[in-house]
Amino acid sequence: MSFILLGILNSQASVSAGPGGYFGGGYGGGRITAVDKFAFPSDSRTTLGTGLSSGVYILGAMANSGVAGYFGGGSPTTATVDKFAFPSDSRTTLGTGLSVARWGLAGMANSGVAGYFGGGSEYTATVDKFAFPSDSRTTLGTGLSSGINEIGAMANSGVAGYFGGGYGSDGGPTATVDKFAFPSDSRTTLGTGLSVARSGLGAMANSGVAGYFGGGYGGGRVTTVDKFAFPSDSRTTLGTGLSSGRSGLAGMANSGVAGYFGGGFPATATVDKFAFPSDSRTTLGTGLSVARSGLAGMADNEV
């Protein structure tokens, strides 16, 4: 499914140094390059003077906290990976991109060790691994348990990364959650998957405590946020979900403080914030600079 929405570009271009979360790319009246940064813990928003190297949507993102964040892939179908150095937010483009040009992928990272981009069009099970800090790429011998796109991903850094949901080659959304143990990259599939099979979902994690998959499309756009406790992987569903049902959203987190779900279809600039550990939800007064879907999120926790 496509995440087409209308938005008006905000040309704000100031830069905020220091830890923060980033929402980049997406579709908002056209494919956009804008990368919005939300400073931690104030949640004040700036828009980077240097955005993505090209306008893409349905892309993935991950971060080596304290060092750099990465946006990869997207539509129009590309293998490009843009790297933003922390805290300057200066951008370079990796000489070695994804092994397969694709959109509908997701990213997660074992900070200090490696970052991963998995899934995407056309229903690929491929998981690419980028070693930190060299950014050298390998492709895991064991990919996802099935070919999938419009997937979500998050990680319990130092322990394991998770890819969940998505749209499968069988023509429908899935509730499957694959877990990759760090540093072996061995894959298992959780016995308890998502509470609602869905694609176009977002994900984020409070590392060491729990990971969250939110929103998506599963017979309709959902507000559901599923929480997986670490390290047991037991699942609960939050009593308070997103402020509205939407797909094509993104997630990022200030680990130990709060997690954020931003953007999505239908047209929205909304950013919902979930405080840790209570999971109480508020909606930021300042949302995204561009109402958009198909965006990606990552965060620098400066650790």
DSSP 107-137: EEEETTTEEEEE--TTT---EEEEETTT--E
Could you tell me the residue ranges of all domains in the chain?
20-300
What does the pLDDT read at residue 17? 62
Architecture of domain 20-300: 6 Propeller (2.120)
Per-residue CA distances from 158 to 111, 137, 141, 193, 214 (Å): 7, 19, 20, 22, 23
What does the pLDDT read at residue 14? 38
* β-sheet bridge partners, residue 131: 114
Percent of the chain with pLDDT over 90: 91
What does the pLDDT read at residue 303? 60
Rounded Cα distance between 282 and 302, Å, is 24
What does the pLDDT read at residue 171? 83
Could you tell me which residues come within 8 angstroms of residue 269 by beta carbon, excluding any fewer than 6 positions away? 7, 263, 287, 288, 289, 290, 291, 292
Average pLDDT over residues 108-129: 97
Per-residue CA distances from 126 to 138, 149, 167, 182, 187 (Å): 11, 11, 15, 17, 13
What does the pLDDT read at residue 9? 29
Rounded Cα distance between 18 and 4, Å, is 33
Q: What is the pTM of this model?
A: 0.93
What's the longest Cα–Cα distance across the chain?
46
